[in-house]
Each structure stands twice: as structure tokens, then as C-alpha cells.
Amino acid sequence: MEYVKSKIRDVIDFPQKGIVFKDLTTAFKDSRALRTIGSELSQIYCDKGITKVVGIESRGFIGGSILASKLDAGFVPVRKPGKLPADTISASYDKEYGKDTIEIHRDAITQDDIVVIHDDVLATGGTMAAACELVKSLNPKKIYVNFIVELEFLNGRNALPVDVEVTSLIKY
């Protein structure tokens, strides 16, 4: 993972002054880094019976799709309001630099599913907490949460449900 970490770019004062944004697009464009991310993610979940991978808009779609493919699982997008075409449920949350809302299709997850919810970065945990709320409301058998990068100094894990196993590939 050191190679992947070396490919992550810091963007100062993005999306607002005082924030150092961990830009994973520089890792995603590198084939070795992208392969490593996919391999490491799939090793974590290969024996857990995952049936669905939920990816959070938009960078969570990248790792989430790779993970779903490697696990032979379905992929479910969590998107901003108005982007999904069928009946949805939504959750609103506070982010480190504002408020937001996300949605999931009401029929995306069943009671038979074992789910990994994936996003690229864990910061304050608001987005993932809202995604967990949405997925939990659909009553799957089990939920796991995964990130490529975790910003530990922001204590985002504290915002997540205690009954959900959380893993991160890289911690800052």
C-alpha cells in the first residue's frame, strides 16, 4: 500500500480554505495503484459472502465497482438527489464543509444481502453514516464498511454505527 499512498496527491484549500484534500484520482489513473487497491479490497472480503457492494457518489463508484467485480457481487450506487430513476429513500447529513443528502433505490438491497459500503475517504464520517442508515433501513443480513483512505485525526469512525465492521487500506 506504500506505492498507492505515494500516488495520492494533497490538494491544499480544497474544497475550501483550511482543508487538505486527499485526491485519489492520481492513484486511480496509475494502473499499478488501481490494481493494488482492487486486490487489497477483495482480499479483505473474499470469504465474507458479499452479495452487494454499495458505492457512494462519486469516487466510491470506482473502488466499489472493482470490488463488486472481484467478489462476483452486484454493485449499488448511492447518489445525490434526483440522479436515480426509480423509487428512492434518502438521508441528509452534515459534512465537514456543508450539508448534503444521498439516495438509494428502495429495491437495491434485500434481506438476503450481505453488503459492503465503500467510499474513497473517511473524513468526519457524515456521508458514510447516512449511507449506513439507508442500507440498514433495507434490512440486509450484514453490513461492512470500507475506505481506501482514513483521516484518523478527524475521528470519523465515531460517527459510524458500532455494529458495523470498518476497514481502511491507508490511514493518515
Hey, which residues are catalytic here? 59, 96
Assign 3-class secondary structure to 83-118: CCCCCEEEEEEEECCEEEEEEEECCCCCCCCEEEEE
Q: How far apart are the first and last CA of the chain?
A: 13
Distance in angstroms (rounded) separating the CA atoms of residues 37 and 63: 7
Distance in angstroms (rounded) separating the CA atoms of residues 164 and 114: 12
